[in-house]
Amino acid sequence: MASKAQSNTMMVAAFDFGTTYSGYAYSFSHDPNTIQTNQNWYAGGGASRLVSLTPTYVLLNPKERFDKFGFEAEDKYASLAEGGKHHGWRLFWRFKMVLHSTKHLTKDVEVEDFCGKKMKAFPLFVMSIKYLKEHLFAAITRQTTGFEETDILYVLTVPAIWDDNAKCFMREAAVTAGVDPRRLKLALEPECASVQCETLSMAFKGAVTVQGSQFMVVDLGGGTADISVHERKADGTLKEIHISSGGPWGGIFVDENYMKMLNELFGEKAITELRKTEMNDYFDVIREFEHKKRSFDTEKTNQLIVRISASLRDLAEKYSSKSLEERIGTLQIDNVIAKKGKDKLQFDTAIVKAWFERPIDLLMRHLKSILAEPKMRSVHTVILVGGFGESPYVQRRIKSEITGVRLIVPSEAGLTVLKGAVRTTHENPEYTTDPGCELLGTIRLECSKDIPLQHQVLETTFMFGDTELLVKKKNMSTGKVAYMDFECFK
């Protein structure tokens, strides 16, 4: 049952807080099918293009207070660095992965800033959500008058493969950022994508909307690959037919492999010093690779050429007596990497492919093992979403290696999760495994051994306080009472 707070909803707003990119989307309850995304983030690096997602960067000032988020954070830090004024400022990126990679997660978990200095991650999540929330609210109030924050139902997307601790971490961060817990729902990223797939073009729609159709959704993001498999039920809702699964196989691992290569070529000391002292040139390395990576296709790209800044050449010379050509020779990679002119490096397709292969090999193995299960025999459609899913190389691998299924990549695959999250707030779910349901906690109530179980009546009371939900269960036969334990940080 929807709580009172939710029943007042005039708008559903979803935040997709991604490892690499974040954004929000919303729709008004009088017109739920019109989903609006924020369109006015300027792409960084001086570009005048407007985009719907912004990189998940947080910039703190020297007093460790929030200063900027996204492209603005990246640009400001780079320009501070240009004038040598960035000391004391702290830039954080890719910190969402800490929630997946930490075994015994607590609120004290730490992440490193761009210069390797540690800080607690929790406040960074809070600041990010607060920023998105305020940005959203400003966008709505520009569009509508008389709007109150209490009119909004917030949806926050989380990877399906996260454990309950990680989900709880995210929930607490949102609540600390000022979101009323009664108006907050966590939604699983691949499930949001499944919901959004209802809006696929007519050519593909049947594959996911016809009663009984079964399909797999692969959300391939920056950090993780999240996989879910659903069946369309007669009433139009979705039933999970395979538990959500996945792993750390996102696009950032291609970047990591590239950076490892640069470390080998120029030396770790040179790359570290470049990051600390020539921030702008370091950002250029990242931006240029991001750009080149996006169009990489083994069938069409013969080589990948990148620029080497004068600062990197100088630093490499400072720390090594060998020239770049000699280093390439020593590493025995002169058949795949060559220096072009004074300031360019040319990588052969074979080596670029190897950077993509490691995460994608693991993904392929996982997809094949799921699809080989007997209960998956009616799954003939795979829908690929998420930014990394837009890679021509990735699409080619799936098409050629997973036979007997049709691969669908929706247009704007990177926005599918976000848009689907606005439509994913199912009320009155039938089963706890239905989309939109999440485990918040458990109640342990002792039953009487003397009375048959079917005769023991249990009464459940939900109490909605100011900040948290309280659930009480009473065994009417024994009078025993128990309260719900929230599944936080266990």
Ligand X SMILES: Nc1ncnc2c1ncn2[C@@H]1O[C@H](COP(=O)(O)OP(=O)(O)OP(=O)(O)O)[C@@H](O)[C@H]1O
294 in contact with ligand X (CB under 6 A): yes
Q: Which does 194 bind (CB under 5 to 8 A by kind): Mg ion, ligand X, none?
A: none
410 in contact with ligand X (CB under 6 A): no
Shorter beta-carbon distance to Mg ion: residue 28 or 169: 169
| Residue of the chain from 96, 133, 242, 275 that contacts ligand X (CB under 6 A) | 96
Shorter beta-carbon distance to ligand X: residue 44 or 250: 250
| Residue of the chain from 44, 70, 181, 387 that contacts ligand X (CB under 6 A) | 387
Instruction: Kindly report the number of other CB atoms within 10 A of residue 145's CB atom.
Output: 6
CB of 416 to ligand X, least distance (A): 9
Shorter beta-carbon distance to ligand X: residue 224 or 475: 224
Q: How far is CA 102 from CA 11, 169, 251, in A?
A: 35, 12, 19
Report which residue type is found at 9.
T
Helix (H) and strand (E) counts for the chain?
15, 26
Shorter beta-carbon distance to ligand X: residue 315 or 409: 409
CB of 217 to Mg ion, least distance (A): 12
Give CB contacts under 8 A, 24+ apart, made by 73-78: 74/44, 74/45, 74/283, 75/44, 75/45, 75/46, 77/114, 77/279, 78/279, 78/280, 78/283
* Both structure tokens of 8: 């007042």
CB 131 within 8 A of CB 69: yes
| Residue of the chain from 15, 21, 93, 258 that contacts ligand X (CB under 6 A) | 21
293 in contact with ligand X (CB under 6 A): yes
* Both structure tokens of 406: 């049709």
391 in contact with ligand X (CB under 6 A): yes
Q: How far is CA 208 from CA 71, 202, 214, in A?
A: 36, 11, 7
Q: Binding residues for ligand X, how many (CB under 6 A)?
A: 22
386 in contact with ligand X (CB under 6 A): yes
Site stretch for ligand X (CB under 6 A), options 18-26, 180-188, 191-199, 441-449 = 18-26
CA neighbor of 213 nearest in space, from 190, 192, 241: 241
414 in contact with ligand X (CB under 6 A): yes
* Both structure tokens of 177: 């950022």
Within 8 A by CB and 6+ apart from 31, the residues are: none
Q: What is the footprint of ligand X within residues 174-203 (CB under 6 A)? A: 189
38 in contact with ligand X (CB under 6 A): no
CB of 290 to ligand X, least distance (A): 5
CB of 159 to ligand X, least distance (A): 6
Q: What is the footprint of ligand X within residues 213-232 (CB under 6 A)? A: 221-224
| Residue of the chain from 70, 251, 359, 436 that contacts ligand X (CB under 6 A) | 251
397 in contact with ligand X (CB under 6 A): no
CB of 192 to Mg ion, least distance (A): 9
CB 229 within 8 A of CB 208: no
CB of 219 to Mg ion, least distance (A): 6
Token match 């025993």: residue? 480
* Pair type for strands 214-220 and 225-232: antiparallel
CB 49 within 8 A of CB 190: no
Q: Output the CA angle 90-292-415, nearest 5 degrees.
A: 70
| Residue of the chain from 246, 250, 267, 420 that contacts ligand X (CB under 6 A) | 250
290 in contact with ligand X (CB under 6 A): yes
CB 74 within 8 A of CB 44: yes
Residue number of the CB atom closest to Mg ion = 221
Q: Which does 294 bind (CB under 5 to 8 A by kind): ligand X, Mg ion, none?
A: ligand X
| Residue of the chain from 9, 14, 15, 19 that contacts ligand X (CB under 6 A) | 19
Given 3-state DSSP classes, what are the helix, strand and coil percentages for the chain, each rounded to the nearest 5?
40, 25, 35
420 in contact with ligand X (CB under 6 A): no
Shorter beta-carbon distance to ligand X: residue 22 or 214: 22
Residues binding Mg ion (CB under 5 A): 18, 221
| Residue of the chain from 67, 164, 278, 390 that contacts ligand X (CB under 6 A) | 390
Q: Output the CA angle 380-19-48, nearest 5 degrees.
A: 100
Distance of alpha carbon 430 from its chain centroid, rounded?
28
Chain residues binding ligand X by CB under 6 A are: 18-21, 96, 189, 221-224, 250-252, 290, 293-294, 386-388, 390-391, 414
